[in-house]
Amino acid sequence: MHDTSTGSTGSTARPSRRAVLTATAGLTAALTVPATAHAATPGDRRLRALISRMTLEEKVGQLFVMRVYGHSATAPDQADIDANLKEIGVRTAAELIAKYRVGGIIYFTWAHNTRDPHQIADLSNGIQRASLDQPRGLPVLIATDQEHGAVCRVGKPATLFPGAMAIGAGGSRSDARTLGRISGAELRAMGINQDYSPDADVNVNPANPVIGVRSFGADPDAVAELVAAEVRGYQSAGVAATAKHFPGHGDTAVDSHYGFPVITHSRELWEELDAVPFRAAVRAGIDSVMTAHIQFPALDGSGDPATLSQPIVTGILRGELGYDGVVITDSLGMQGVRTKYGDDRVPVLALKAGVDQLLNPPSLDVAWNAVLTAVREGELTEARLDESILRILRLKDRRGLLDDPWADPAGVDGTVGTEAHLARAGRIAERTTTLLVNEAGTLPLDRRRQRRLLVVGADPASPSGTTGPPTGVLAAALTELGFTATALSTGTAPSAAAVDKAVAAARDADAVVVATYNVTASSTQRTLVERLLGTGRPVVAVAVRNPYDVAQLPSVPAFLAAYCWTDVELRAAARVIAGRVRPRGKLPVPVQRPDDPSRVLYPIGYGLTY
């Protein structure tokens, strides 16, 4: 999950099991994904020969996927050199590989790895060169979190698609597969060969602070179909997909970056709800599965996080689900996995549980040496390491890295962010925007009578798929569509002065568009909307994250769910507001009454058009 922005949601109550299953009834479909297992292949003899030539230190390194600062593998900026020395004890990515022989590297925007497509391709090639230049050198799995929507590490000019919940609102397996295929092709062109996507969590808790719109929805069968489709899309493009966060992170009210969530589902409910998308991912031939730093007492009563749980990783994921591909931890720097054990014990316990890749430990030196010591002292066997390394090498071989790990700089411009890809993303976005309220035909707005628009509201931190705050993007898009739109950002917690300023500006407009973001009962965003309604101007609310906002704004005459504040989703919402396209999205989650979650205001599958 890695440093995603979070925020409160419009309700803190969790829907009951009955409410979830009722809301999904009649809206599921049978899975059509074929059974696929990562069984032994004729190429295993070659891979085992590679393993037999490795030193113990090289084997330990193959298990780790590590962050590194800088835009270049050998010549990063001085600030990135300083950060690398402080956190890792090396100066560059090349030095990281030479010292620890890591099998994987993860790219982050904040680590300055993803400035532009050509730079990313050059960095990827520099990393591969540094690894292959080592004795017995192997290609590196280069990974990132390119979920689209709220979590994107590679921004423009790459093609950015709607996020998972928006895709859930569109409900099209074809669109999900297209997203994976195009995004996978662009990532591979830049030398990224493993994507920590799709999110297979079933989000049934409106108060979930870390999953939410990163999930396809609350219907496990619908989520399963879209997960399988994206997996097929990504892997058809040569990129390893990753289903996360096993055994299911969709019903938490705690962010595992900062705490230790507990899932209270029974084993029966886990089978009916959380397990379904992961089973589909396994059947679709998923290359890797990421574990969650959550406690799940019904699956393991020890109190250990799932990442460190042998009953969950080996017993359920490998044994019951029949999965023999790569299992990777979520970031080992997250609090959820560090609460019970020290940083020297976590990687060892993860390997004993059945994990293969150890992602982004806070101190690589501590973690690397802990695994090395565990083998030398007999707590782990070298044969156990060989099992994981074989799975990792199978993945690398399956994705063609052992033969050709290189990005083609000359091919970047013909693949990344092409007009055809951008147009496809825009058309997909148009099928996701969801109209929940439209009293007296408020939408579409009429350019002849309502030419002057005021766009006000939330200004959350921008993911990579944005060119500015939602108010600015919406105003620009509406102006391009023939309106005269003015943007006025009032923030996610507007002050009294900001509200007064917006109300004054609204009196000079013909209509008002309000961007909302995780509205709660006590949020001053509610005050803003109520005061704007008092001006008598038509008000259109656009939820730029969770669709649950509609439950907190019962008086608004028009309400759209955009599911995220990236450009592609906001521009699609603008086209709906302007009447250029009809809204086609259907809610992929139920919206309950905030004061009585047993009462569903808007069920799964609800959505208006005009």
Gap between the Cα atoms of 195 and 236, Å rounded? 13
* Length of the chain (residues): 610
By DSSP bridging, strand 141-144 and strand 104-106 are: parallel
Q: Is 71 a catalytic residue?
A: no
Is residue 421 annotated as a catalytic residue, yes or no?
Answer: no
In the structure encoding, which two tokens stand for residue 600, read together?
């569903």
Residue 62 contacts by C-beta under 8 Å, 6 or more apart in sequence?
54, 101, 102, 103, 138, 388, 389, 392
- Catalytic residue (one of 330, 459, 510, 549): 330
Amino acid letter, residue 389? I
Given the residues 71, 245, 257, 265, select the one marked as catalytic. Answer: 257
**Cα angle: 263, vertex 282, 463; to 5 degrees:** 65
Q: Which of 555, 554, 389, 565 lies closest to 471 in space, CA to CA?
A: 565
CA dihedral 560, 563, 567, 569 (to 10 degrees): -60
Please state, in angstroms and rounded to a whole number, the distance separating the CA atoms of residues 98 and 112.
21
Q: Which residues of 595-606 are buried (b: 16+ CB within 10 A; e: fewer)?
A: eebeebbbbbbb
User: Which uninterrupted H or E stretch holds 221?
Assistant: helix 220-236
Instruction: Give Cα 16 to chain centroid, integer Å.
Output: 25
Which tokens hold the place of 444?
């579409």
H or E stretch at 489: strand 484-489
Q: Which residues are catalytic?
A: 257, 330
